[in-house]
Amino acid sequence: MFSRYGIVAARNVVGKSVTQRTILPASTGAARWINLHEYQSKDLMESYGVQVQNGKMAENAEDAKAIASAIMASPQHSPDGVDFIVKAQIHAGGRGKGHFEDPSGNKIEMGGVKITQDLDAVGEFTGKMLGNNLITKQTSAEGQMCRKVLINEGINIKRELYFALLHDRAYGGPCVVCSLQGGMSIEDVAEETPEAIIVEPIDITVGLTDAQSTLIADKLGFTGADTVAQAKKNMHSLYDLFLSTDATQVEINPLAETECGKVFAVDAKLNFDDSASFRQKAIFDQRDKSMEDARDVRAEEAGLNYIALDGNIGCMVNGAGLAMATMDAISMHGGEAANFLDVGGGANAAAVAEAFKILTSDPNVKCILVNIFGGIMKCDTIAEGIVDAYKQVGLEVPLVVRLEGTNVDLGKKLIKDSGLPIITADDLDEAAIKSCGAI
């Protein structure tokens, strides 16, 4: 799948792969992209006229069986329908090749996508998925809890294609990215055969034209008047969705052609920029925070910018640039940062306390380094917050504090007079050395 940072191809840069022309959302930075479950994405696509399989979300085994029965009895039952597909709903790809673990950590030899023609088996698979953690290549080692499943009608797929709509800075607007090689990792396709990736820019003032959709349909190998018409209709409907919902990504993998010439959006990945949340309330109200890192959610609610990393020195800094410099300094002295945490310029004592709670909730954190340059946020205010937070949290790991800027002397005095075992430093280099040494 495409990441928020762009698609992959021939070379790697800082762990992210890029094409000969990197394709990016129009808005990058501190924005948080909302993710929808597959069933939510398909419901949304269907509302825009995109052809999707019959199906519905279930939260228990009985409902899953009832949905399968309704699909079979539906007058809209597809002549291509041959199976029922039970799909675990988590925010990660690779579900079919993953495996489950129960809450005790016992492995369940079953993937997150199961196909059956038996109604009882639909209920059985659903029961085994719900309440257990699904672990895939795109999740953490703990995986994500499956609380919902999607029951879909199976179709006889003749060809699997790839189709996506993204923002491309090179063109200053949206573009179609597609490939004949669908139903597989698009990153692998772009890495191994970049020539298989087709890019068609769209003039934002005109939109996707009939000539362009005809050209794309031809490049994707659609033939027959009815099949070509269906493919083009899906493309235009997806573009309408892309613009109308302020999406940063609309990815269909696969876009499938069936044996009888129908065209379905079989799997979908939709992303939306949260800067448009005031316009897209109905979409953002569907956000499932249970699929997100609890620390990320807490940080967002407190107005903090937080990203978990793999190290053991927790960092609390004001300003993204200073945060990066602090992480570099730690690395230079043999340590490894456990996170990026920017409290911003207007943080108060409550925000500092919440930052400490988030840092200490990570069991890997063995030391905390606070590096603050006082400007809008004065050093004495930060010092008060640090002292209060230390007492509230009952900090059990070493704490190193470096303050500089407005009211720095007053801030240092507050820390010294607190009587707490806080390690102080006069510059960043000293702070990094002391942090690594404290561990």
Among residues 404, 407, 410, 397, the alpha carbon closest in space to that of 430 is found at: 404
Q: Residue 383: CB partners within 8 Å, gap ≥ 6? A: 401, 403, 410, 411, 412, 414, 415
Residue 179's CATH number: 3.30.470.20
Q: Does residue 420 share a domain with residue 316?
A: yes
* Cα 42 to the center of its chain, rounded Å: 18
State percent of the chain over pLDDT 90.
58
Residue, of 376 and 411, whose pLDDT is higher: 411
User: Is residue 251 annotated as part of the catalytic site, yes or no?
Assistant: yes
User: Could you say which of 291, 324, 354 is where a domain stops?
Assistant: 291
Q: Is 50 exposed, middle or buried (0-12, 13-18, 19+ CB in 10 A)?
A: buried
The pLDDT > 70 percentage for the chain reads 89
Looking at the fold, whether 166 and 90 belong to one and the same domain comes out as no
CA dist., res. 42 & res. 36, Å (int): 10
303 and 246, same structural domain? no
Q: Which two tokens stand for residue 197?
A: 């990736």
Whether 209 and 121 map to the same domain: the answer is: no
DSSP for 150-184, please give it: EEEE---EEEEEEEEEEEETTTTEEEEEEES--SS
Range among 9-23, 339-353, 369-383 with highest mean pLDDT value: 369-383
Instruction: Supply the pLDDT for residue 21.
Output: 31
Boundary-marking domain end, from 291, 308, 337: 291
Question: Token digits for 315?
Answer: 């960092």
What range defines the domain where residue 41 resides? 1-47+156-291
pLDDT of residue 51: 96
Same domain, 40 and 187: yes
Average pLDDT, the chain: 86
Looking at residue 352, its amino acid is V
Q: pTM for this structure?
A: 0.70
Domain at 347, CATH number:
3.40.50.261
**318 and 232 within one domain:** no
**Same domain (yes/no): 404, 313:** yes
pLDDT number for residue 25: 32
Half-sphere exposure of 154 (CA within 13 A, CB side): 13
Number of domains in the chain: 3
Q: Is 59 found in the same domain as 8?
A: no
Least confident segment among 148-152, 265-269, 297-301? 297-301
CATH number of residue 146's parent domain: 3.30.1490.20
Q: Are residues 316 and 287 in the same domain?
A: no
Return the closest-CA partner of residue 40 out of 276, 280, 259, 215.
Answer: 280
> Both 360 and 374 in a single domain?
yes
Q: Which of 162, 239, 306, 390 is catalytic?
A: 162
Residues 300 and 283 in one domain: no
Q: What is the pLDDT of residues 41-88, one digit of tens each?
A: 999 999 999 999 999 999 999 999 999 999 888 765 555 545 899 999
Q: Which of 153, 251, 257, 404 is catalytic?
A: 251
Is 225 found in the same domain as 328? Answer: no
φ and ψ of 250, to 5 deg = -130, 105
- Is 38 catalytic? The answer is no
